[in-house]
């Protein structure tokens, strides 16, 4: 499960990395602790190219923030969204929690390049015209598996194009897999991220001030 993430890259870097051609009024000030129910920056495909806009994180009516990619097509609304309403949710890191001696310890994962990236997402309109989105999840790669048994689907540049433009459900399903473990790194952070009131760079700093990278299981 992905219950928190960051999006702190400069606006021009985000637009360049994700190939955005047009944009609505989107607040791209740095966010270090994006929480369920918050507005998120998302990219959709339009005839004129990729457009950046804002979606609410959570699908009505139950506020689902994550959907398991393996079971997505079993639910008719989500199956339709997979066919017609796919999006890229902009991020540059995400948090997962491990349990250590009965305590939940947050860890922050990011690309080794520190570049922004995109989660695979779907969007849908709620009963009151609220447009929400959910992040798709998959089994973890070797790095995240040291902390948690799920991870968000992180798409590289080639996969992003296919996710927005592809129509074949079999090809789309092949995109919903763990990202390259050699491309990411993770480390423990403080419990500041546990509170939605905390949204500063301190959330992503290494716990204890020392960078201790997550070691994949032997």
What is the C-alpha to C-alpha distance for residues 134 and 152, in angstroms, rounded to an integer?
Answer: 10
- How does DSSP classify residue 180? P
Among residues 17, 48, 96, 185, which one is catalytic?
96
Dump strand ranges (E) for the chain: 5-7, 20-23, 31-34, 39-46, 49-57, 66-68, 86-91, 93-100, 103-111, 117-125, 131-138, 151-152, 154-155, 184-188
Active site residue 2: yes
Q: Which residue has the tokens 């992905």?
A: 2
Active site residue 96: yes
For residue 174 the two structure tokens come to 């092949």
Other C-beta atoms lying within 10 Å of the C-beta of residue 167: 8
Among residues 2, 87, 138, 179, which one is catalytic?
2
Q: What residues form DSSP beta bridges with 22?
A: 51
Other C-beta atoms lying within 10 Å of the C-beta of residue 49: 11
Residues tagged active-site: 2, 96
């Amino acid at each position: 499960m992905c219950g928190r993430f960051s999006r702190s890259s400069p606006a021009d870097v985000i637009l360049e990395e994700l190939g955005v051609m047009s944009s609505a009024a989107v607040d791209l000030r740095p966010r270090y602790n994006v929480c369920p129910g918050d507005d998120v920056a998302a990219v959709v495909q339009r005839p004129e190219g990729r457009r950046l806009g804002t979606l609410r994180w959570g699908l009505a009516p139950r506020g689902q923030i994550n959907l398991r990619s393996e079971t997505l097509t079993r639910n008719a609304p989500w199956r339709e969204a997979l066919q017609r309403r796919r999006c890229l949710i902009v991020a540059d890191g995400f948090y997962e929690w491990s349990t250590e001696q009965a305590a939940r310890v947050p860890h922050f994962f990011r690309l080794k390049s520190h570049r922004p990236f995109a989660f695979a997402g779907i969007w849908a309109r709620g009963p009151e015209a609220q447009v929400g989105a959910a992040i798709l999840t998959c089994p973890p790669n070797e790095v995240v598996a040291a902390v948690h048994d799920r991870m968000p689907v992180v798409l590289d540049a080639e996969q992003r194009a296919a996710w927005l433009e592809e129509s074949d459900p079999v090809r789309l399903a092949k995109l919903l897999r763990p990202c390259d473990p050699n491309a990411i790194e993770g480390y423990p952070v403080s419990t500041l991220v546990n509170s939605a009131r905390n949204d500063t760079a301190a959330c992503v700093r290494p716990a204890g001030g020392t960078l201790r990278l997550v070691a994949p299981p032997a």
